[in-house]
Amino acid sequence: MLQLAILISGRGSNMVKLAKAIETDQLDARIAIVISNQHCAGLAHAVKLGIETKVIERRNFSTRQAHDAAIQDAITSSSADYVFLAGYMAILGAEFTKAFAGKLINIHPSLLPEFKGLDTHQRAIDAQARQHGATVHLVTAELDEGPIILQAELSILPDDDADRLAARVLQLEHHLYPFVLKCLCEGHLTLAAYQVNWHSPDLVIPSLSADRRLIKTLKWPQH
């Protein structure tokens, strides 16, 4: 059984979707702990789901390295096999990312390498991009630079503003992240330090593939 640690900073909607996928799809996985760098709504959702939670606030540590080390200790104590970042709004240092190389996964609301960082939806609109989406990737020391695991893209509509686009991309995230977890559990996907290996690249996400209003295509990493 895969043991997961999930890091959040806000509402935790992707964390909830992962938990629901484990239950609904009977995945051989368990969320061992949800860790946040601040008190947030997502923690209450985790508690309702019966998941252990821990708050490790940055203000209680003199340096980012010390804060990272405390989070690392909590993850290690949980015996987590993978760490999923689900709206974790803090940069993790090189020592932390190295300690979990190949086991640290993030979901980002853009089609990386486009629009790294924050405010991705407004930036995509301002750039007059035709396509936008979400990316699941391995985390490395460089911001939003890790190897891509899987992407889903959609077309930006003429009446999209940042809020409407964000809501549509969040729907992609809610399908994409559980799908990646399912593939890890079932052996369709394996990860190593800086390496992504898909063993069944013809897989589809039925709930997305049936909704052409939402998704344009899945984008598999190129090797």
Active-site entry in 45, 67, 108, 174 = 108
Is residue 204 packed enough to be buried (19+ CB in 10 Å), middle (13-18) or exposed (0-12)? exposed
At 150 the three-state DSSP class reads: strand
Report the alpha-carbon distance of residue 142 to residue 97 in Å, rounded: 9
> Is 108 annotated in the active site?
yes
Amino acid letter at 154?
Answer: L
Nearest to 86 by CA among 136, 50, 39, 47: 136
Phi–psi pair at 140, nearest 5 degrees: -125, 180
- Active centre residues (catalytic): 108
